[in-house]
Amino acid sequence: EAQVTQNPRYLITVTGKKLTVTCSQNMNHEYMSWYRQDPGLGLRQIYYSMNVEVTDKGDVPEGYKVSRKEKRNFPLILESPSPNQTSLYFCASSLYGTIFEGGYTFGSGTRLTVV
């Protein structure tokens, strides 16, 4: 089944403790992206990647890192999480150049709470 898989689904952590949220897709998509969803703000893009070793900042990149060493994986790293990063996170992917035609495929989300 074609899908984007995120792990974990739920995570509670403490301020300053480094964490990684994994994202993997099995559709051979070049384009991958991370979004955060907050009430009243909709979805905001954190980082995106057009292909292996090519990443770029989205609208809200502060406090996050990403890497794209393999085509299928696009982990989101919080080096020193803070409470304002408590949010619902989504990974999404698309064939490069076809977002215009077909939009994204989304993962099921990771609900992160930083205390």
Q: Cα–Cα distance between 92 and 75 in angstroms, integer?
A: 12
- Output 35 or 64, the one with its CB closest to other proteins: 35
According to CB under 8 A, which one of 1, 62, 69, 100 is a site residue for other proteins?
Answer: 100
Q: Which residues of 7-25 are buried (b: 16+ CB within 10 A; e: fewer)?
A: eeeebebeeeeebebebbb
Q: Cα–Cα distance between 20 and 40 in angstroms, integer?
A: 26
Q: Which stretch binds other proteins (CB under 8 A): 11-19, 34-42, 69-77, 78-86?
A: 34-42
Unique residue bearing structure tokens 């406090």: 63
Q: Cα–Cα distance between 80 and 55 in angstroms, integer?
A: 20
In what helix (H) or strand (E) does residue 89 lie, and over which residues does it extend?
Answer: strand 87-94
- Output 29 or 81, the one with its CB closest to other proteins: 29
User: Min. distance of Cβ 17 from other proteins in angstroms?
Assistant: 26
x/- mask, other proteins, residues 66-95, rule CB under 8 A, reads ------------------------x-x-x-
Contacts with other proteins by CB under 8 A: the residue count is 27
Residues lying near other proteins in the complex (CB under 8 A):
4, 31, 33, 35, 40-43, 45, 50, 90, 92, 94, 96-109
